[in-house]
Amino acid sequence: MTEATGIVGEFLSLKEETDADILTMQCGDFYEFFAEDAELVAEELDLKVSQKSSHGSSYPMAGVPVDDLTPYVSALVERGYRVAVADQHETADGHAREITRVVTPGTHLETGDAAAQYLAAVVRQSGRDGDSYGLAFADVTTGRFQVTQLDDADPGAVLTELYTFAPAEVLPGPDLRNDDDFLDALSERSDAAVSLHASESFAPGRARHRVREQFGAETLSSVGIADDDAAVAAAGAVLSYVEETGVGTLAAVTRLQAYGAREHVALDATTQRNLELTETMQGGKSGSLFDTVDHTATAAGGRLLRRWLQRPRRDRGELHRRQSSVAALTREAMARETIRETLSDAYDLERLASRATSGSADARDLRAAQETLALLPKVADAVEQTERLAESPLANALSGADREAAAELATELDAALVEDPPGTVTQGGLFRRGYDDSLDEIIDDHESALEWLETLPDREKERTGITHLSVDRNKTDGYYIQVGKSETDRVPEAYEEIKTLKNSKRYTIPELDEKERAVLRLEERRHEMEYDLFEELREQVAEHATLMQDVGRTLAEIDALASLAVHAVENDWTRPDVTDGEELSIEAGRHPVVEQTTEFVPNDLYLDRDRQFLVVTGPNMSGKSTYMRQAALITLLAQAGSFVPARDATVGLVDGIYTRVGALDELAQGRSTFMVEMQELSNILHSATEDSLVILDEVGRGTATFDGISIAWAATEYLHNEVRAKTLFATHYHELTTLADHLERVENVHVAVAGEPESAGEDGVTFLRTVRDGPTDRSYGIHVADMAGVPGPVVDRSQEVLDRLREEKAIEARGSGGAGTTQAVFDLSSGTFGGGDGGEPTSADGGAADAVDDDHLTDRFGEDAEDVLSALSGLDVNETPPVELMATVQQWQDELDEA
Ligand code: ADP
Ligand code: MG
């Protein structure tokens, strides 16, 4: 490219200065994009590209009017770009331009999404006793700032933290930005933009200084973080990054919250997705757990409730407080509705606080803040005047905000701003009379001048006797008197003609000119003065950012608790007994989402130290997956502080919930591969502890049968013997039901089918959805054959064949020869199954065909019987829909009849 000069040259050299993806530069009344940026923006946002010629070369150019920039920048940032904005300012000799801010996914203030928007930094420090990690999360839209330190941790634990916050942007520390494994794992499961922030900003000394500057010298030690922890480096890096991007919201970040990773239930990305916490597997919001239980009245309340679900707690005291509040709210319908109705008028105070501190709040925002602050006493009254609520922990929640200070600020704002201020702050009309004496004077003068103008037509009509006379104003003529053509001969001499139109003439008079000048002067002074006063007011409000955040969070908490109460009442949920014990006991439990749309058949679950591992069997579509997810969701809801869908539930606190669905089931949704399945299984085997809940749904299904069984078998042994996690394992490998005979704490349960299976309905099978102890009837498919009228000897013989097949399979799964039980080895570090001395896995079908070697049936039914039998033994009853099964059986029957 030839050296560009002029405006394009200026653009290109500014672009050199920034590492943002896109630059936009103010040129008078427009923000312009040039060269590659113009093309990119044009494509992303459907902008028109024109050509700008500059000193013999021509460059693509696209622009937007100055006042319209924000939505364009927002749209680009939401697509993951970092956008630098260069503003133009006047100088003594013309004007200059410089980059004033960089808007990035994690520092984007104008987000249209109510969900939290986190900027994260993650730092690794390698030490003698393993790696430690520091993480910091800032939400500039609300001023939340959280840090944590993970000592002796592995990348998996760090990624789990990151997934849980679902940051919009991640700043990897110096050590991690070259760790491809880490970055790959991050990008695989997260949409976060990864940005490289200057390494120096992570340096311990500088970061510590930055953190102290922001939060005060003592903050770190008071929240239990040591000066040299990786968490400090992460926190410092986040702060300096926000500062450098120039969004000006740092002042809203007033409090550093440290949390221990041990406070929350570990939920990795796969688990969150499997359990459809905030999104369904298809990617929609509706039908997710959050969508189902969310009855919040405010955006902030919804944000909090979502956080409770995504980050369940392990602190029994906190859960107890939430539950008691929910319990009280379920029983006080009137007060609850009053509170919810009051809250429905609330605006997002946390976000308004950030807008005030960044200087982007307008008068409507401050009005919104005022109205919301004024709701606090109403909500407090509703709580305090209802005995049961007043005695519940809800009353303590209210003490989180300084009510008097809130009322004072609300009163101040109310006294300042008119009821319905305009959307712009430069055109006046913002302040009430009595707010400022000198403003009042100007307003008085301004309004009396306007009044004079308004009454001028009447005075002139009276004086001149002209009937078609009006006074108006436009840009070119200023104020003028307009007289209809028919009466122009009656205008007084003092009227000076300025314009002739088709049906009228325009005049001016000296008094009008004079008033016009006065009005313009007053108008300008009024606008300037109101703008200055407004900036002052906004700064005053910004100083109360912490107060606004407190009130916002208090209202959000009450909203979230009331929402849980509403859902509990409407759906007949019950308060779970949350204990420090190991028992998970659910009586007549339901799936919280499925019960919304289905006549749900409740079922029971019991797990404890001695009954630690359940193998769940049952035909396809009987309800295995639902049953297991239901157990996970009830546990999760209990640890979010919610009531649960059950008649009665006792939930021993868990430290993590891990779920994994077999690749085959996931493949149906076009997602996963067997490799990923195994990596994730490996991750669970690493991360889960005896206090975890593990859900394995058809794991091992993604590969040939024998591999699959072996892996499932080995994983079960490992979970049972080593990890000792509470586990539910659904499988269609009936072989695994024999694990209960080998392993002490493994039990079988199965999902029952109508009449088990003697009384299947005419149109196939009736699913009972009831979960019973014991393995499922193994010869379920053969019973279907029996029901369909297959001759008795064939049914008996198929049972024999099947039993034999199973024996062989079971032997092969354990190793060759069946002598003793050679244990299969699951290699944890590689996530692959190493196998004992089992040899090459063989295909299930091959084994099946060989097994049919008995020929006494052939004597009775002829050659055809052999075909039928080998077809029968080769058929996977669990993979075949019931209707097809019936048809196939019918076909065999016909073949045998012919024989
Ligand atoms: P599986 O995992 O055994 O193949 P699923 O759990 O996927 O079966 O359930 C199959 C269907 O049955 C789903 O549509 C589910 O909504 C429904 N279902 C499962 N359990 C119940 C129940 N207890 N009551 C009513 N419907 C249920
Ligand atoms: Mg299933």
Interval between CA 85 and ligand 2 midpoint (Å): 51
Instruction: Provide CB contacts within 8 A for 514, sequence distance 6+.
Output: none
Residue 757: cis peptide before it, omega within 30 degrees of 0: yes
User: Which amino acid residue places its CA nearest to atom 12 of ligand 1?
Assistant: 623
Distance CA(239)–CA(647), nearest Å, equals: 48
Over range 148-165, report the average pLDDT: 85
Distance CA(203)–CA(237), nearest Å, equals: 8
pLDDT by residue (tens digit) across 848-875?
333 334 445 555 556 667 777 777 877 7
CB-based burial, 200-214: b 16+ in 10 Å, e otherwise:
ebbebebbbebbbeb
Lowest mean pLDDT among 214-223, 537-546, 662-671: 662-671
- Judge whether residue 807 has pLDDT over 70: no
Distance CA(526)–CA(102), nearest Å, equals: 34
pLDDT at 781: 52
Over range 196-224, report the average pLDDT: 86
Over range 887-891, report the average pLDDT: 78
CA 720 to mean position of chain CA atoms: 34
pLDDT by residue (tens digit) across 420-438?
999 888 888 999 999 999 9
pLDDT by residue (tens digit) across 611-633?
999 999 887 778 899 999 999 99
Residue 115's alpha-carbon distances to 141, 306, 344, 350, in angstroms, are 10, 8, 18, 12
Distance CA(140)–CA(143), nearest Å, equals: 5
Over range 685-696, report the average pLDDT: 89
Residue 454 has a CB neighbour count (10 Å cut-off) of 11
Over range 326-337, report the average pLDDT: 97
Strand-pair category, 57-65 with 50-54: antiparallel
Distance CA(520)–CA(883), nearest Å, equals: 85
Closest among 602, 578, 605, 607 to 592, alpha carbons compared: 602
pLDDT at 823: 37
Over range 881-893, report the average pLDDT: 74
Q: Which one has a higher pLDDT value, 153 or 689?
A: 689
DSSP helix/strand/coil, 825: coil
Q: Is the distance from the beta carbon of residue 620 to the nearest atom of ligand 1 less than 6 Å?
A: yes
Q: Are 649 and 638 in contact (CB under 8 A)?
A: yes
Q: Is the distance from the beta carbon of residue 629 to the nearest atom of ligand 1 less than 6 Å?
A: no
- Judge whether residue 594 has pLDDT over 60: yes
Distance CA(458)–CA(471), nearest Å, equals: 10
pLDDT by residue (tens digit) across 44-58?
888 888 888 777 778
What's the token pair of residue 357?
A: 């501190």
User: Which amino acid residue places its CA nearest to atom 4 of ligand 1?
Assistant: 621
- Judge whether residue 836 has pLDDT over 80: no
What is the length of the chain? 899
pLDDT at 797: 67
Interval between CA 767 and ligand 2 midpoint (Å): 14
CA 844 to mean position of chain CA atoms: 43
pLDDT at 506: 93
* 510-543 and 545-571 helices, crossing angle to 10°: 70
pLDDT at 531: 95
Over range 405-410, report the average pLDDT: 95
- Which ligand places an atom closest to the C-alpha of 617? 1
Confidence of residue 263 (pLDDT cuts 50, 70, 90): confident
pLDDT at 794: 62
pLDDT by residue (tens digit) across 521-577?
999 999 999 999 999 999 999 999 999 999 999 999 999 999 999 999 999 999 999
Q: Are 305 and 293 in contact (CB under 8 A)?
A: yes
- Which ligand places an atom closest to the C-alpha of 624? 1
Query: Relative to the CA of 622, which ligand 1 atom is closest?
Result: 3
- Judge whether residue 663 has pLDDT over 60: no
Q: Is the distance from the beta carbon of residue 601 to the nearest atom of ligand 1 less than 6 Å?
A: yes
Residue 307's alpha-carbon distances to 312, 608, 648, in angstroms, are 8, 29, 25
What's the token pair of residue 637?
A: 């809801």
pLDDT at 798: 61
Helix ranges restricted to H, 544-657: 545-571, 594-597, 624-638
Distance CA(398)–CA(395), nearest Å, equals: 5
Query: Relative to the CA of 770, which ligand 1 atom is closest?
Result: 23
pLDDT at 705: 56
- Judge whether residue 806 has pLDDT over 70: no
pLDDT at 789: 52
- Judge whether residue 68 has pLDDT over 70: yes
Confidence of residue 787 (pLDDT cuts 50, 70, 90): low
Pocket test for ligand 1, best of 280, 594, 766 (most atoms within 8 A of CB): 594
Question: Max CA-CA distance within the chain?
Answer: 131
Interval between CA 621 and ligand 1 midpoint (Å): 6
Mean pLDDT of the chain: 84
Over range 642-661, report the average pLDDT: 94
Confidence of residue 831 (pLDDT cuts 50, 70, 90): very low
Lowest mean pLDDT among 4-18, 782-796, 810-824: 810-824
Confidence of residue 635 (pLDDT cuts 50, 70, 90): very high
- Which ligand places an atom closest to the C-alpha of 602? 1
Q: Is the distance from the beta carbon of residue 732 to the nearest atom of ligand 1 less than 6 Å?
A: no
- Judge whether residue 195 has pLDDT over 50: yes
Q: Is the distance from the beta carbon of residue 281 to the nearest atom of ligand 1 less than 6 Å?
A: no
Q: Which one has a higher pLDDT value, 21 or 881?
A: 21
User: Which amino acid residue places its CA nearest to atom 23 of ligand 1?
Assistant: 601
